[in-house]
Each structure stands twice: as structure tokens, then as C-alpha cells.
Amino acid sequence: MELLNCRLEIDDLDAFVADLGEIGDRHDVTIQAFDSRYVADRRHLERAVEFADRAIDRGENVARDRAVEILLYAAGRRQIDRALEMGVGEGETRAVVLVDGESDGDEAAALEELEALNAFAEREPTLETRDTETLREFFEITDTELGATDAPLSALVRERVALLEVEK
């Protein structure tokens, strides 16, 4: 799994999503773009990929598309409409684009094409700072929950990803 931390400037979301699908098909990789405000850390997305793949292997997936299944797990939700809130939209977005395939070479080639898209503005360290308020609100992490543990916020977000697996 490779992550492209970047700033995107998307004029047409449907065209951008179609471009991601075409690049993914060409390189036999899965590509999913996230608004970085909703991503706790790299491990958050790694866990989402692990759980999505397990659901697909077991025939328990909700979505037909692997990228959407990964999005559902990353969001900790089974409702696609609510999970889409985590995705990118039109306009300028600080983003994390996940590229996952069988081969590092395929991932590298896909990343190169992603950076050539008109929507790609520049690489930017989007996961170095967290939007704590957005994460807490989206993942419904309360003051009480935070006060009951010494675990960092990122661990509580990853717990939401894991709980989706248990709650099925």
C-alpha cells in the first residue's frame, strides 16, 4: 500500500473518480482518495484495507467495488452515503490517496499517473497534523471516552474500524 499525501484541486468530481478508476484498471491497483481531515494516520488506512480484504475473501462485503469497501471500513460505517463524507469533493482538498496492488511496481506506476492528473496540485504532508475536532465528530468520540483511556485519538479511530468488523 502506498499513500500519496497531496493537495487536489478538483473541477469535476465524476471525471476525477473516473480517472482514478481508469488508472487503477490500467495498473491493476485499487485507488481511493480521502479528505485528509478524516484520516487519523497511516495505520488507520492499513487496517481498513485489511478488514475490507477479509470481508471480500469471506463474501461478506457490502460494496461490489474494493475501493468502496475500503472506504466503508475507513469510515467505520456500513452506509455508503455516510462513508462518502470521508472522500474528496470538488474544489481544493488536502487529501490522502491510497494505492494498493499486488506489486510495488504497479503502485509506483499508478502514483506517477496520479501526479500527472490535472486535479493534482502538489505533494503536501497532509497526515502530519490532525484535525482533531473533525475526527472526533465524524467517529463520534466523546470527551468521556477520551478521558477513560490514555490511548491516542488515532487508536480510538482504529478501534471504530475494528468495531465495524465485529458489528456485522
- pLDDT tens digits, residue range 11-55? 999 999 999 999 999 999 999 999 999 999 999 999 999 999 999
- SS3 of residue 3 by DSSP: strand
The class of domain 2-167 in CATH terms is alpha beta
Delimit the domains of the chain by residue range.
Answer: 2-167
Q: DSSP 3-state helix, strand, coil percentages of the chain (rounded to 5)?
A: 55, 20, 25
Give the global pTM.
0.92
For the chain, how many residues are written? 168
Rounded (10°) CA dihedral 139, 140, 144, 149: -10
